[in-house]
């Protein structure tokens, strides 16, 4: 008998295979020399991707058991140039929306999880060659997630997240295989200091709102008490006037804020199209 997880797995395989077949059906010609090239002033390199992966969560506010399952992801990444004469010549943005349906280790409970990320980084080039561009700089990050546990009737839902300032590193390596141009890109976002949202273990939401106890839900976060990161590894190949981008994304957050353990881990395989365009005269 096929389980729901088996059906979800096969459905995810078919969706991803269909997306990959559509994207790779574009003739491999055109602006091959632009693969992995940094944008010029006024240009934007944008990417939209769809993907599937795996989510692992432990939220003791809802349950002492860890949950795992498949996730579906849509993401948008952009890299723009604001002038080579500036300290931070480039700006990178990353938006992603993730949705997961999970079960505990013995299949007796189920949980749904939705997560929204919005990351911004400003890059200063420290290495720029014909084959490689490496930039580092500050970043601003916002991550919000909500969980709903179908087994917990007393506290069925909760939220976690943070808003922080941190560090971004981005490296683009251009190369050829049998004369075919490709580009490998690695991007890291690392929050260093900010505000995290996490209710106390014994704090019920209706009591919190009734008594206006919002201060107990906000905590100072840093890598010492709430380590987190987002890592993106991608390979780009030419596809007509655009590029096909195949990526592997990992993000992680762990803390004991509010006297409870919270761990959120996601890994996903992404396929998408990258397009280079110019800004309008009014900056749009």
* Model pLDDT, residue 7: 43
* Model pLDDT, residue 98: 96
Contacts of 262 (CB under 8 A, 6+ apart): 58, 59, 60, 61, 160, 198, 253, 254, 255, 256
Digit-coded pLDDT (tens) for 155-212: 788 888 999 999 999 999 999 988 889 999 999 999 999 999 887 766 666 566 666 6
* Model pLDDT, residue 9: 47
Contact between 235 and 247 (Cβ < 8 Å): yes
* Model pLDDT, residue 182: 93
Which residues share a beta bridge with 180? Answer: 177
* Model pLDDT, residue 283: 45
* Model pLDDT, residue 211: 66
**Of 149, 26, 19, 4, which is closest to residue 73 (Cα–Cα)?**
19
Contact between 52 and 12 (Cβ < 8 Å): yes
The arithmetic mean of pLDDT across residues 221-243, rounded, is 91
For the cut 70, the answer to whether the pLDDT of residue 269 exceeds it is yes
For the cut 60, the answer to whether the pLDDT of residue 4 exceeds it is no
* Model pLDDT, residue 64: 82
Whole-prediction pTM? 0.81
User: DSSP label at 40?
Assistant: P
For the cut 90, the answer to whether the pLDDT of residue 235 exceeds it is yes
Please report which helix (H) or strand (E) contains residue 205, including its range.
helix 205-210
What percent of the chain is predicted at pLDDT more than 90?
52
Per the listing, tokens 């998408």 go with: 272
> What is the distance between the alpha carbons of residues 146 and 156, in angstroms, rounded to a whole number?
11
pLDDT band at 23 (very low <50, low <70, confident <90, very high): very low
């Amino acid at each position: 008998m096929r389980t729901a997880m088996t059906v979800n797995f096969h459905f995810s395989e078919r969706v991803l295979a269909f997306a990959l077949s559509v994207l790779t059906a574009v003739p491999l010609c055109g602006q091959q020399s632009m693969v992995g090239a940094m944008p010029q002033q006024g240009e934007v390199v944008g990417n939209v991707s769809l993907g599937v992966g795996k989510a692992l969560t432990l939220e003791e506010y809802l349950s002492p058991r860890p949950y795992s399952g498949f996730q579906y992801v849509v993401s948008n990444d952009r890299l723009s140039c604001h002038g080579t004469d500036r300290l931070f010549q480039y700006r990178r943005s990353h938006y992603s929306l993730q949705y997961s349906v999970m079960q505990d280790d013995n299949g007796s409970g189920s949980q749904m999880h939705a997560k929204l990320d919005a990351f911004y980084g400003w890059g200063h080039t420290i290495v720029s060659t014909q084959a490689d561009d490496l930039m580092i700089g500050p970043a601003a990050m916002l991550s919000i997630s909500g969980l709903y546990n179908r087994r917990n009737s007393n506290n069925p839902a909760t939220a976690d997240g943070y808003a922080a300032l941190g560090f971004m590193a981005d490296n683009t390596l251009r190369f050829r295989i049998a004369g075919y141009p490709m580009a490998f890109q690695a991007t890291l976002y690392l929050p260093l200091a900010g505000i995290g949202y996490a209710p106390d273990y014994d704090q019920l939401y209706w009591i919190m709102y009734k008594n206006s106890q919002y201060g107990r839900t906000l905590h100072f976060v840093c890598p010492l008490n709430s380590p987190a990161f987002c890592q993106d590894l991608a390979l780009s190949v030419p596809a007509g006037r655009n590029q096909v981008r195949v990526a592997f994304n990992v993000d992680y957050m762990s803390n004991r804020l509010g006297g409870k353990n919270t761990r959120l881990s996601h890994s996903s395989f992404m396929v998408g199209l990258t397009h280079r365009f110019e800004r309008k005269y009014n900056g749009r």
